[in-house]
Chains A and B, each alone.
Chain A
Amino acid sequence: MTKTGGCAGPKGFDVEKVRADFPIFQRTIWDKPLVYLDSGASAQKPKAVIDAMTRVMEHSFANVHRGLHTLANEATEAFEGARGDVARLLGAKSDEEIVFTRGSTEAINIVANGLSDDIGAGDEIVVSQMEHHSNIVPWHFLRERNGAVLKWAPVADDGSLDMEAYAKLLGPKTKLVAMTHMSNVLGTITDAAEIVRLAHEAGALCLLDGSQSVVHLPKTDVQALDADFYVFTGHKLYGPTGAGALYAKKKHLKRMRPFQGGGEMIESVSEDAVTFADPPQKFEAGTPSIIDAIGLGAAIRYVETIDRQAAMDHETRLMRKAQDGLKKWNDVRILGDAPGKGAIVAFDVKGAHAHDLAQIMDRFGVAVRAGSHCAEPLMRRFDCQSSLRASFAMYNTEKDVDTFLEAFEKARDILG
């Protein structure tokens, strides 16, 4: 067996070096080395993130904004610095376009709530069949409350978005298009720029769900995409849980109704009136997740030290190797093999339940996901009860793929 790693990119991408940054790989699962292939659900954390969070708690912690003492200023600087990191990650025009959220889910809910005055009975929201529930359920709220109509852009057999059918769904009633930039099941990377262009042509706004894409794509550029809204979560990007962001063009943030009321988000409060602070604070009621946001900033600065094109090439190569290995089995069906897909492979096996396979594979130290991956409409589209998903990150190795395939074979054997 060849030694893993050593894939030299321009900055010398070396998987063993990356791996060494993640303390969790020192542990074993059932006495076996950990093979973590569930990064699509949540990624492991590098030392840089853990240290940044510890440092602020040990050294620079206080509530942010408005404080007049040293610690408040240091914490505010670190917190607002993290906002700058997010803005840079997304290619936003200014930090003021970045609202800290708990994750993508909260970000999408802020938009759904914020647009609820603009989307009324009969108005149409276009989503795709491959959306995560977080980019479906908030729009169902507008359907239930306001009588908005959900339109579903279909997914082709190969897992790609049917762009022709999508274009046909757009019309004068379309108010919003909400679509993923990368499917959490199929791995499909959508033509986000074209999705936005067509939405705008129809006079609609466009939200992109970047939960998976910011992790895998070498670069995100919300200005080039011309997205009205772009959301992502930090914990899939090697950051802590509890911190993600909503990017929105400033004009939208100015108009939109705030989601929650409380401290930090007001300009003034009296007995019979309230005026709101300017965005982004308008959308950040209460004490924010200061430590998590600082951790997210550290995660972004960490990935910036990596040659991200080389990392994506590495991850995609692992996904291909896993997919090729799985294709040797006649009873395995790969869900989605769209051209240019990213480092996720979901599959089901005739006669074997994904739940059984995942549970047995765990005994070999292999962490994979089983179920509907919070994408029930997509599962129905492929007539799939439940599937297994292996999702790759930059710390995975060729050896991980070998172990995954071996564990899969043994699990099948045990299940008879």
Chain B
Amino acid sequence: MNAAQAIDDLVDEFSFLDAWEDRYRHVIDIGRGLDGVRDEERNEANRVQGCVSRVWLVTDILDGDPVRLSFRGDSDAHIVKGLVGVIARLFSDRTPEDILAVDAREVFNRLGLSEHLSQQRSNGLNSLIARVRADAEAAHGKP
């Protein structure tokens, strides 16, 4: 499944959720299914700055040609953890090119989660997206 299919899947899931409460619940559920972070990975390098709550994002580079990236994370706040979960579903097991082709902000708008974008200063969503893109750029072109 490529990024476009993952986006379509997510949009499909969220399209059934008219009420904001249900969208929140679903974001939180996605966070519950997120691959976690080991204790030793809860370090400053993996900490995402710019969040009121504590957030970690770990990037795994999967060997292969081309390389693929995968994301795990955690937060002590459920909603932020859910947003990390959405990011992980969007971008995990993808090539750097695939990742860099996605406009994550546009995807969040389509999912009906735009209010989280406007709260980026407190929830760090912007920092999360920037981190994913930076890691994809770093991995870009590696054999």
Contact = CB atoms under 8 A, between A and B. Distances in A.
A355 B24 contact: no
Given A363-B20, A415-B78, A353 B53 contact: yes
Given A360-B24, A370-B52, A414-B24, A385 B76 contact: yes
| Centre residue among B25, B28, B53, B77 by max chain A CB count within 10 A | B77
A370 to B, nearest CB: 7
A31 to B, nearest CB: 11
Contacts of B20: 30, 363
Contacts of B122: 355
Contacts of A352: 78
A370 B77 CA distance: 12
B79 A355 contact: yes
Contacts of B76: 353, 385
A414 B25 contact: yes
B28 A415 contact: yes
Contacts, number: 38
Interface string B95-122: 0000000000000000000000001001
A53 to B, nearest CB: 27
A360 to B, nearest CB: 6
Contacts of A241: none
A414 B21 contact: yes
Nearest to B75: A353
A353 B21 contact: no
A416 interface: yes
A359 B28 CA distance: 13
A371 B52 contact: yes
A232 to B, nearest CB: 27
Contacts of A416: 25, 28
Looking at chain B's contact residues, is the secondary structure mostly helix, strand, loop, or mixed?
A: helix
Given A414-B24, A415-B78, A359 B119 contact: yes
Contacts of B80: 355-356
Contact of B52 (A355, A360, A363, A414): A355
Contact of B53 (A30, A355, A360, A363): A355
Interface in A363-377: 363, 370-371
A415 B27 CA distance: 10
A356 B31 CA distance: 13
A386 interface: yes
A360 B23 CA distance: 11
B115 to A, nearest CB: 9
Nearest to A360: B24
Contact of B77 (A30, A353, A363, A414): A353
B54 to A, nearest CB: 8
A386 B28 contact: no
A19 B136 CA distance: 53
B137 to A, nearest CB: 30
Nearest to A385: B76
Given A363-B20, A414-B21, A356 B52 contact: no
A414 B77 CA distance: 13
Contact of A353 (B24, B78, B119): B78
Interface in B41-63: 52-53
Nearest to B82: A356
Contact of B79 (A30, A359, A385, A386): A359
Interface in A293-336: none
Contacts of A355: 52-53, 77, 79-80, 122-123
B48 to A, nearest CB: 14
A386 B24 contact: no
A362 to B, nearest CB: 9
Contacts of A359: 79, 119, 123
| Centre residue among A30, A359, A371, A385 by max chain B CB count within 10 A | A359
Interface of A: 30, 352-353, 355-356, 359-360, 363, 370-371, 385-386, 414-416
Given A355-B53, A355-B80, A416-B25, 20 more contacts: A30-B20, A353-B76, A353-B77, A353-B78, A355-B52, A355-B77, A355-B79, A356-B77, A356-B78, A356-B79, A356-B80, A359-B79, A359-B123, A360-B79, A363-B20, A363-B21, A371-B52, A385-B76, A386-B52, A416-B28
Among all A-B residue pairs, the 7 with the closest Cβ atoms:
A353-B77, A355-B77, A355-B53, A356-B78, A356-B79, A356-B77, A355-B52
Interface of B: 20-21, 24-25, 28, 52-53, 76-80, 119, 122-123
19 contacts: A30-B20, A352-B78, A353-B53, A353-B76, A355-B80, A355-B122, A356-B80, A359-B79, A359-B119, A360-B24, A363-B20, A363-B21, A371-B52, A386-B52, A414-B21, A414-B25, A415-B28, A415-B78, A416-B25
